Amino acid sequence: MGGRAARAGRPWSESGTRRLMRDDRLRRYFKALADKTRFDIVEELGRIGESSVSNLCLGLGVTQPLMSWHVRVLRVAGVVATRRRGRQVFCSLDQKSIAYFQERFGLLVQGQPLAGDAFVPASPSVAPRATKRRAPLPPTP
């Protein structure tokens, strides 16, 4: 099968459909930690335990919208857990999820297969958010 996608080395099957990655969640975990700002956030949370997003902004010199974006990426990847109190959002490391990913990575580097994914995160912060459904537009005359 030729084409631009095949030449670029993208994972396409013979039927032309994209193959699923073996452990997408582990890849997402490491990709989240690869960014310097997100790594600094994890380091800061490891040092102080829990912090509000605004305190993290002050401590790391990052604007609030950018910090919220980074915290979201870390939350979706399973690195941090968040909780709300009023308008404040507090972050802490999701220790159970981090231990799971470290165990999975340990199995990977030992050459053991990563078959099955029985882990269900305890914190609801890893679950994707529900999107609001918009009402359909009225037909145009």
Q: What is the pLDDT of residue 20?
A: 44
The percent of residues above 90 in pLDDT, for the chain, comes to 37
Q: Are 1 and 9 in contact (CB under 8 A)?
A: no
Q: What is the pLDDT of residue 17?
A: 46
| pLDDT tens column, 39-75 | 999 999 999 999 999 999 999 999 999 999 999 999 9
What domains, with CATH codes, occur in the chain?
21-105 (1.10.10.10)
What's the average model confidence in pLDDT over 82-96?
Answer: 91
3-state secondary structure of 91: strand
Give dist(CA 119, CA 104) in Å, integer.
Answer: 10
pLDDT of residue 137: 67
Integer-rounded Cα Rg, in Å, for the chain is: 19
CA distance 94 to 81: 5
Q: Tell the residue number behind the tokens 């099957």, with chain if given.
A: 13
pLDDT in tens, 3-33: 554 445 544 445 444 444 457 888 888 888 8
Q: For residue 19, which phi and psi values (nearest 5 degrees)?
A: -75, 145
